Structure 1
Amino acid sequence: MNIKSLHHICIQTEKYCESLDFYTRILGFEIIKESKNFHRREYNTWLRLENFMIELQTPKKGDKLKEWNSLNEGPVHLCFLVENVSKEYSLIKEKGYTNFKVKNGKEIYRVENGYLFKIKAPEGTEIEIRDNSEI
């Protein structure tokens, strides 16, 4: 197998408008294509931020999604690398978004070689923002 890169992640949501606003206005993704009535879904929308895409979709008609839980198997969070965690944290707060994860009483915390914070998207996806790519 010769994988070139990660193409996209697909996120289902029953909070389509809130999630679309979060990924575009708060995180800066742009809408590439929004399809209505797509394969029994109210919406299927492609979002892009540089070379990374999210396929944001509503559930198929008649389906009820289970609430996101970090104890489920599979992906636990998405992580985006930034130059300055404090600056990005402030920008998100200035936009009025406040659903940050708190750890030991703090929203921004130190990890090996840098800092990070986590926010929850309206549909429940946990988003990590960090300033160092070293693990």
Structure 2
Amino acid sequence: MKFSHIHHVAIICSDYSQSKDFYTRILGFEIIHETYRAERQSYKLDLRIDNNSQIELFSFPDAPKRPSYPEAQGLRHLAFSVDNIEKAIDHLNSFDIETEPIRIDEITGKRFTFFSDPDGLPLELYEV
């Protein structure tokens, strides 16, 4: 089996409107398709990150919270490549989104930082 890329990452949010605004207006992801599924009282929003990758943003009534943060088993964080980490941090900070201090990856020597989405999902900026 050979994989070409990650197609999508699915995220369940607690406040659909707030998360939709965060991922579209603040992070700048393009809406591909938005669906409301009345039988599930659930939205599904497909967002384009680039030509190969997408985020599926879901809302479900009464979805359970993440059991612990940040070192629970499973997905640890979602990382986005950026060309200029300072510019990306300035953009996030202009929307009052806090970012951690820039760190250096001890293996690659690349710079990175973390921030959170409206539900506290750990997101990373990784300078390429």
State the Cα distance separating 1:97 from its structure 2 match. 3.0
For residue 33 of structure 1, what is the aligned residue in structure 2?
A: 33
List structure 1 segments (4+ residues) > 3 angstroms apart after TM superposition. Answer: none
Distance 1:127 1:39 in 2: 31
What RMSD in Å do the two structures reach over aligned CA positions?
Answer: 1.8
TM-score relative to the length of structure 1: 0.81
For residue 113 of structure 2, what is the aligned residue in structure 1?
A: 117
TM-score relative to the length of structure 2: 0.85
State the Cα distance separating 1:115 from its structure 2 match. 1.7
Identity %: 33
Gaps of 5+ in 2: none
Specify the code of the residue in structure 2 equivalent to 1:115. Answer: R
Spell out, residue by residue over 1:51-106, the C-alpha distance to the aligned partner (whole angstroms, 9 max, x if none): 210110011x4x33213622321111011111111111112222x13233x4xxxx
SS state at 1:127 partner: strand
**Number of aligned positions between the proteins:** 124
For residue 14 of structure 1, what is the aligned residue in structure 2?
A: 14
State the Cα distance separating 1:49 from its structure 2 match. 1.3
State the Cα distance separating 1:38 from its structure 2 match. 5.5
Gaps of 5+ in 1: none
State the Cα distance separating 1:10 from its structure 2 match. 0.5
Distance 2:15 2:66 in 1: 11
Distance 1:5 1:85 in 2: 23
For residue 3 of structure 1, what is the aligned residue in structure 2?
A: 3
Distance 2:11 2:38 in 1: 15
